[in-house]
Structure 1
Amino acid sequence: MTKILLIEDDSETAEEIADELVQRGFEIERAGSGIEGLDKARSCRPDALIVDRMLPGMDGLTIIEALRQERVRTPVLILSALGAIDERVRGLRSGGDDYLTKPFAIVELVARIEALLRRPAESRETMLRVGPLELDLIARTAKRGDRAIELLPREFRLLEYMMQRSDQLLTRAMLLEEVWNYKFVPATNLVDVHMGRLRHKVDGPNDPPMIHNVRGSGFILREPS
């Protein structure tokens, strides 16, 4: 049974989340403070964590940073009443894998947890490499050779997903589901816009291309030829 560690100090919110996840077949461990949550994250070996941003005893981001420093790559969904863009960026850069702003629909929380759990095991590695391209999942940095690449959070997740599946054709529908957490395929050029920006950053003017557009099908990331 998949085990979820829920670190949430609001008992009503924690009860609602736990009840729904139990009904979905998950095993739930709970902690009501930051210190207790960090101890349980180290001892009970959960498959995923749900961590509230503001906790008594220890801030949620401090928990995540401590685990990442210990090379723990368990996926983390951050819950927070702080919805500003800079707060979401801070949460992701601290090592969170996803960020959900309160109040939220419980079905969306479940969908996001399911998406995190679908990520392949290699996403637990701390460093991804494809040819000259490197992605540090703890420091949240990227570089191609000696050139640093500045990425926005969504671009980082998109590149992470592609590097985990190098040499594989990735359709727009796959990317919308796994990177944007869509459960349907909307009529949008969202993927193409982000991919264009990412290609511009990864493939410099003097670099052989690594991100390829397969017309009518999707995209492939591969080592430069």
Structure 2
Amino acid sequence: MTEGLFPRERGEPAPGAVHVPGWLSFERQRELVAACREFGRGPASYEHTVLPGGGVMSVRSLCLGRRWEPYRYLGEEDVRVPLPSWLAELGRAALVEAYGAHGGFTPDTALVNFYADGARMGMHQDREERSPAPVVSLSLGDTCVFRLGNTENRGRPWTDVELASGDLFVFGGPSRFAYHGVPKVYAGTAEPGLGLGGRLNITLRETGL
């Protein structure tokens, strides 16, 4: 994938964090968009998460495999939509791409977030997992600004990375518990042939539960 005259290059914005532009082929992206639509047709649907303080997240989310709710994972008996084995295998392939090996990565949950126009994600840590395994993030649709911060607080220092459709981003090791968020999505930047208005983000995780 290119942007302007120059190809976007693989980068490591922080130790343990790897950005691979255009990792997913366009056909693979279309397949994932279709799968995400199918996931939301039942028995679960994409919903706005209500936080304990009463706030409502602007993104709409759906869990595959073990369900997450603020700020814990539910038991296996509460699984509504199983995590497909092919998606877990894609997560392992992503770690091979990022690190050269998958380290026995066995994701048992995936959070699918849909960003409609105006949606964003505040700075937060993924810290409910007991496993130290990396988080695998796949982007589909509109380009966003992904903000990777530090492990101590929501403030600076941070690094902003543009994630476009098909990009892979992995954060593990020293960056595993870095605060991160999505302050902006560039509406209408997805390829029309993708058939998606907005942005989809799939994050695969190993809970260790």
TM-score band w.r.t. shorter chain = under 0.3
Q: Which of the pair is proportionally richer in strand?
A: 2
TM-score (norm 2): 0.25
Structure whose CA Rg is larger:
1
Q: Which has the higher contact order (CA 8 A, sep 6+)?
A: 2
Q: Which of the pair is proportionally richer in helix?
A: 1
